[in-house]
Chains A and B, each alone.
Chain A
Amino acid sequence: MARRFRSDDKSVFLNVPFDAGYERNLIALIASLTALGQIPHCVLELPELGSGRLKRLLKHLRSCRTSIHDLSRVGVPVRFNMPFELGLACAQAEYRKPHSYFVMEKAPYRLDRNLSDLKGRDPLIHHGSPKRIISGVLNMLRRKTRNPHPKEVFNNFKRLSGIAEKLKHDYGESTIFSRAIFIELVVAGTELAITSGHVKKYKNF
């Protein structure tokens, strides 16, 4: 019997481009989500066990209550992965309750032309800047009380960037888009959020 996945209220699925130019933005996303006490997930996290990428993707989407989709990579070579995954998230929000999704874009009004079916939604326009991504994510997932200040999160982002460089060096990778580095970055983001007082510490760790 197929295992049923429970959607976790605190899990956020990240649908972002995996290229060197997006590294800083992914680190900004991890810093802001961990500061908010959210659990960032990415398709990189699941090991390839022969089931294929799409199955891994669906499994992750199903287990996350929220997803963030960055549609800023347009141009040649054309990448259809991000819009495809956004479509999966839309279908999940429509037919499998509950799921909420956010859309991010680099340039204003471009989404209206590129994906007119999504008209009427306000994408987060970040202009490719980690600072704007941080403030945007803090706005999108804002709680009623005890919200982290963008400046604190930006400081954590800068420290996390240093940790990312160290991890890349340790693992001999040229980018952060690997399973181990992603997971350790989330751990580092959580540790930084603990020192800033945004996340509750677990005594056994």
Chain B
Amino acid sequence: MMQKLKKAAAEPKRVMSAASTKNGASRKPAKAKSRVGTNGSTTRKPLLIHGGPRSKAVHVTEKATAREIYKALGVKSETVKRVQQIIRDLEAKSWQVD
């Protein structure tokens, strides 16, 4: 009896893995649920809140084109051309320094 107890103590304890059940049968891992929209809804809809409580979904932003950006700012093509020239000048200057 003592020997049996000693042997049991010496043996490492069996640790159950997450994917196995008590009777040894393997358990299918839970399938990840698609959470497309916000608040766990599975329908695709635009995000509403971000920067809110930590549980809120992440904001998926849309991308504007250069045209949209300039239109929103009310910028004319002359301004864009002038800025492009400034960028070119500075680029040329940096090459000279290098």
Residue from the list B60, B87, B89 in contact with A191, Cβ < 8 A: B87
In the assembled complex, the CB of A9 is this many whole angstroms from the nearest CB of chain B, namely 5
Q: Contact: B86 with A140, CB < 8 Å?
A: no
Q: Contact: B70 with A159, CB < 8 Å?
A: no
CB within 8 Å for A183 and B79 given contacts A122-B54, A200-B66: yes
Q: Contact: A141 with B59, CB < 8 Å?
A: yes
Mask: chain B, 23-50; 1 = CB below 8 Å from A; 0 = not: 0000000000000000000000011111
Question: Which residues of A lie under 8 Å from residue B51 when comparing CB positions?
Answer: 100-103, 121, 140
Tell me, in angstroms, the Cα distance from A204 to B80 when the chains sit together: 10
Segment 160-205 of A: residues with Cβ below 8 Å from B: 162-163, 166-167, 183-184, 186-188, 190-192, 194, 199-202, 204-205
User: How many A-B pairs fall under 8 Å by CB?
Assistant: 131
Q: How many of A's residues come within 8 Å of B, CB to CB?
A: 48
Residue from the list B52, B53, B75 in contact with A187, Cβ < 8 A: B75
- With an 8 A cutoff between CB atoms, is B17 at the interface? no
Question: Which residues of B lie under 8 Å from residue A66 when comparing CB positions?
Answer: 50, 59, 61
In the assembled complex, the CB of A94 is this many whole angstroms from the nearest CB of chain B, namely 10
Q: Contact: A9 with B72, CB < 8 Å?
A: no
Residue from the list A38, A102, A120 in contact with B53, Cβ < 8 A: A120
Q: A97-B48, A143-B61, A188-B87 are in contact. List 17 more A-B contacts (CB 8 A).
A: A37-B65, A38-B64, A39-B64, A41-B72, A98-B47, A98-B48, A101-B51, A102-B51, A121-B53, A122-B54, A144-B60, A163-B87, A166-B90, A187-B79, A199-B66, A200-B63, A202-B67
